[in-house]
Amino acid sequence: MTNILLVTSSPRGAESLSSRFANEIAEGLKARLSATVITRNLAVNPPPHIGRAYIDGRVAAAEARTPDQVEAVGLAQTMVDEVKAADIIVLGSGMINFGLPSPLKAWFDHITWPGVTFGYSEAGPHGLLTGKKVYLVTAAGGIFSQGEWAAFDFQTGYLRHLLGFIGLTDVEVIRVEGTVFGPEAAQAAIAATEAQLHAVLEKAA
């Protein structure tokens, strides 16, 4: 059985293109692979920003943790377990102020866990969550994949770095961008993403 973890993060709800296309990929893969899908909507249920309870609790012995530490570490462990159980991860991120949504950053802060999702060796840090496929859907109103604004895309490259740091290096990026330049441009951008999505699903079948 193939397990898919779908993580969405846009606060735009039904209007979110990153969530729309991430959902379409997950559902398309589910149908083609007879897979199960676990969904974590970070906009609806945002994780808290990490605090002392998590920072201290994750290095403390389980029996020595305070109630606050047990709760904080338990939440992180649940999210890590979801990633570990997944064969495929579909991640949706809509650009906010040139970067990723803060709930998605908080999710990464919880799952980027020394000794659990990455470790150290003489060669430096290495990711422990290997052997998984990631489909990364990024949305932006402007065009950031190329041209003069490419240098200001602090979303896509950063997400790829975070994923790679914990071992998720097999990443396929699906972009939807250029939707703020009028209705025709938006329709063209959506059509281009739909074509890319179709090609991705055909390749996965």
Q: Which residues are known binding-site members for FMN?
A: 10, 16-18
The β-bridge partners of 94 are 139
What are the DSSP E strand ranges found in 11-54? 36-41
**CA atoms of 51 and 63, how far apart (whole Å):** 20
Q: Residue 46 corresponds to which amino acid?
A: P
Helix axes 183-204, 17-33, angle to 10 degrees: 20
Residue 138's SS3 state is strand
Binding-site residues, in ranges, read: 10, 16-18
